[in-house]
C-alpha cells in the first residue's frame, strides 16, 4: 500500500481512517478538503483542482482523503489501494453533527484555513441521498477500476477498526526522522 485513496460519503470517517493509515504505514496524508476550499468556503476552480490532483497523484507515496467526484477517476486510476467507507446514512449524519458540535466556529484539524466548521442543508441532503444516488455510481466506478488495485469496502466502524488492527499487526513499526 503506497498510493491509497480513501473515499465515501461526508461523515463516513475518511479523515480519521486516513490518519490511522498514515500512522501505520508512515505515509503522508493529504486531506483534500484542506486544498479544495479557499477561505470563506470558496471552491477551487475546476481546472485548477484537476491540476492539483495531477500533482498529488504524481508522487510515489500518498494517502488522499476525500470524495470529490469530479476528479475521482484520476485518483482511482493512480491508486494501488482504494478504501471505500460505505457507511449507513444515519451514521454519517450523526458524525457530521458531532463534528460540528465539537468544532463549531473553528476550523477542524483536517479542514481548510479560513473555513470554520459548518453544516449546510445542501451538504446534509447530499449525505442523506448518497446511498441511493451516489453509492451505485461509486460501486460502478470501483468495478471499472478494479483491475490491478486492491479495493476495500468497509461498512461500519467495527470493520474499520479491524482493518486498521490487521494492518498494524502486519506492519513493522514505522520510524520517523527526528
Q: What digits encode the pLDDT tens for the residues 11-68?
A: 999 999 999 999 999 999 999 999 999 999 999 999 999 999 999 999 999 999 998 9
In a domain, 119, yes or no: yes
Structural element, H or E, at residue 103: helix 89-103
| 85 vs 177 pLDDT, higher one | 85
CATH code of residue 30: 3.40.50.300
d(CA 95, CA 41): 20
pLDDT digits (tens, 9 = 90+) for 9-24: 999 999 999 999 999 9
Query: Which single residue is written with the C-alpha cell 485513496?
Result: 5
In a domain, 55, yes or no: yes
pLDDT digits (tens, 9 = 90+) for 118-163: 999 999 999 999 999 999 999 999 999 999 999 999 999 999 999 9
Q: Which domain holds residue 134?
A: 3-170
In a domain, 44, yes or no: yes
Q: Is the pLDDT of residue 176 over 90?
A: no
Q: Looking at the 3D structure of the chain, how many domains does it have?
A: 1
In a domain, 178, yes or no: no
In a domain, 60, yes or no: yes
Residue 171: the pLDDT is 74
In a domain, 150, yes or no: yes
Query: Which single residue is written with the C-alpha cell 491509497?
Result: 4
Grid cell, residue 84, equals 471505500
pLDDT band at 109 (very low <50, low <70, confident <90, very high): confident
In a domain, 93, yes or no: yes
Residue 178: the pLDDT is 34
What lies within 8 Å, CB to CB, of 36 at 6+ separation is: 43, 44, 49, 66, 68, 112
What lies within 8 Å, CB to CB, of 164 at 6+ separation is: 17, 20, 21, 24
Q: Is the dihedral of CA 70, 75, 78, 80 positive or negative?
A: negative
What's phi and psi for 12, nearest 5 deg? -75, -20
Strand residues in 23-171 grouped as ranges (E): 29-31, 37-38, 42-43, 62-65, 81-85, 150-154
In a domain, 175, yes or no: no
Distance of CA 170 to the CA centre of its chain: 23
Structural element, H or E, at residue 126: helix 121-129
Amino acid at each position: 500500500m503506497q498510493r491509497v485513496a480513501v473515499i465515501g460519503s461526508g461523515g463516513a470517517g475518511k479523515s480519521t481512517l486516513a490518519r490511522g493509515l498514515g500512522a501505520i504505514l508512515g505515509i503522508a496524508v493529504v486531506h483534500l478538503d484542506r486544498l479544495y476550499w479557499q477561505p470563506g468556503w470558496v471552491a477551487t476552480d475546476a481546472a485548477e483542482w484537476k491540476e492539483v490532483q495531477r500533482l498529488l497523484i504524481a508522487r510515489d507515496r500518498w494517502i488522499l482523503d476525500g470524495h470529490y467526484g469530479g476528479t475521482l477517476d484520476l485518483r482511482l486510476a493512480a491508486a494501488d489501494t482504494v478504501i471505500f467507507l460505505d457507511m449507513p446514512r444515519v451514521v454519517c449524519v450523526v458524525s457530521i453533527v458531532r463534528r460540528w458540535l465539537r468544532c463549531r466556529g473553528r476550523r477542524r484539524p483536517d479542514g481548510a484555513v479560513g473555513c470554520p466548521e459548518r453544516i449546510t442543508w445542501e451538504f446534509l441532503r447530499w449525505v442523506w441521498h448518497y446511498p441511493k444516488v451516489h453509492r451505485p455510481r461509486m460501486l460502478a466506478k470501483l468495478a471499472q477500476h478494479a483491475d490491478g488495485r486492491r479495493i476495500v469496502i468497509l461498512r461500519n466502524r467495527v470493520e474499520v477498526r479491524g482493518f486498521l488492527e490487521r494492518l498494524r499487526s502486519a506492519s513493522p513499526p514505522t520510524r520517523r526522522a527526528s
